[in-house]
Amino acid sequence: QATRLVELPYSSFDDEDDDDDIAEQDPGVWYPNPPKLSPFSHCVRYLAFLWNLLFLLLGLLTLAVGVWGLLAKNPLSGGERGVPLGSDPMLLFVLAGLGASSVSLAGCLGAFRASPCLLRFFLGAVLTFGGLELLGGLLLLLARRRLRDALRDLLLLCLLRYQEDPDLQFLVDEVQRSLQCCGLESYRDWESNPYFNCSAPGVQACGVPASCCRDPLENGSVPNVQCGFGVLGLGPAAAGAMVHPGGCGAALGVWLRGQTGAIATGAASVVLVEAVGALLALRVLGDI
Cα 167 to Cα 208: distance, rounded to the nearest angstrom: 18
Return the pLDDT at 192: 87
Average pLDDT over residues 233-258: 86
Considering only CA atoms, which of 235, 248, 237, 236 is closest in space to residue 209? 248
> Which conformational region is residue 165 in: left (phi greater than 0), alpha (psi within -120 to 50 degrees), or beta?
beta
Mean pLDDT of 206-215: 89
- Which residues have C-beta within 8 Å of that of residue 48, sequence separation ≥ 6? 107, 111, 277, 280, 281, 283, 284
Q: What is the per-residue pLDDT across 169-209, written as a single tens digit (0 to 9) for each?
A: 888 888 888 889 998 888 888 988 888 888 888 888 888 99
- Which pLDDT score is estimated for 171? 85
- State the Cα–Cα distance between residues 71 and 64, nearest whole angstrom: 10
pLDDT at 23: 46
pLDDT of residue 73: 67
Question: Residue 1 — very low, low, confident or very high, per pLDDT cuts 50/70/90?
Answer: very low
Helix extents (H) in the chain: 13-25, 39-73, 90-113, 116-142, 144-160, 166-179, 236-242, 248-258, 260-287
- Mean pLDDT check: name the lowest of 2-6, 162-166, 190-194: 2-6
6-61: pLDDT as tens digits: 444 544 444 445 545 544 555 544 445 555 667 777 788 888 899 889 989 998 99
Nearest to 208 by CA among 224, 188, 223: 188
Instruction: Give the pLDDT confidence of 95-118 residue by residue, as tens digits.
Output: 888 988 999 999 888 888 888 898
- Tell me the mean pLDDT in the region 144-173: 80
d(CA 14, CA 35): 25
Q: What is the DSSP letter of 185?
A: S
Strand pairing partners for 243? 213
Strand, helix or coil for residue 246:
strand
